[in-house]
């Protein structure tokens, strides 16, 4: 199971990196919603990792400097792999969401959600890129595996 999740985090890291570069290269044609969503995508993975590790979390919608996004993506990836290599995926973690509501999920559920959440928002970003006259990036998992 860990190998499969590591592969999915490699996929997530790869296409987050491509998105960051593409947005940076086309900054003048990219709207604020796109910037907000790429930040949210990275922030969410950092938040889920932090909940598991008991570390300080980002704000859900904080906007990070564009030049820091690649480093945040790299750090997120390293932390997710650290969790996969050192934690029991069946362990349940209690946490509070951004609204202060308490929940409990397994580490596996939290990590899988982080992957799925990233995929969802990259799709939204691609829609916005297209609306702004840019060519969307093919980010489907199968393209990563080819």
On whether 121 is known to bind a ligand per the annotation, the reply is yes
- The tokens describing 14, both together, are 């790869």
Q: What is the CA radius of gyration of the chain?
A: 15
The DSSP annotation for 33-89 comes to HHHHHHHHHHHHHHHHHHHHHT-PPPPTTPPPPGGGHHHHHHHHHHHHHHHHHHS-T
Nearest CA to 133 among 29, 11, 40, 9?
A: 29
> Rounded mean pLDDT of the chain?
97
d(CA 86, CA 53): 11
Residue 1: pLDDT over 90: no
- Looking at residues 25-50, what average pLDDT do you find? 98
What domains sit in the chain, N to C, each tagged with a CATH number? 2-145 (1.20.120.450)
**Is residue 38 a contact partner of residue 19, using CB atoms and an 8 Å limit?**
yes
Residue 3: pLDDT over 90: yes
pTM, 2 dp: 0.96
């Amino acid at each position: 199971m860990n190998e499969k999740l590591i592969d999915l985090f490699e996929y997530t890291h790869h296409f987050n990196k491509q998105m960051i570069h593409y947005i940076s290269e086309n900054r003048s044609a990219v709207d604020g919603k796109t910037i907000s969503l790429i930040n949210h995508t990275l922030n969410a993975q950092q938040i889920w990792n932090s909940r598991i590790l008991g570390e300080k979390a980002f704000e859900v919608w904080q906007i990070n400097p564009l030049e820091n996004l690649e480093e945040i993506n790299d750090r997120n990836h390293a932390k997710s792999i650290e969790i996969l290599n050192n934690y029991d995926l069946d362990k349940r973690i209690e946490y509070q969401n951004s609204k202060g509501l308490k929940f409990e999920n397994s580490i596996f559920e939290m990590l899988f959600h982080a992957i799925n959440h990233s995929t969802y928002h990259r799709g939204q970003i691609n829609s916005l890129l297209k609306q702004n006259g840019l060519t969307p990036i093919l980010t489907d998992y199968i393209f990563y595996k080819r």
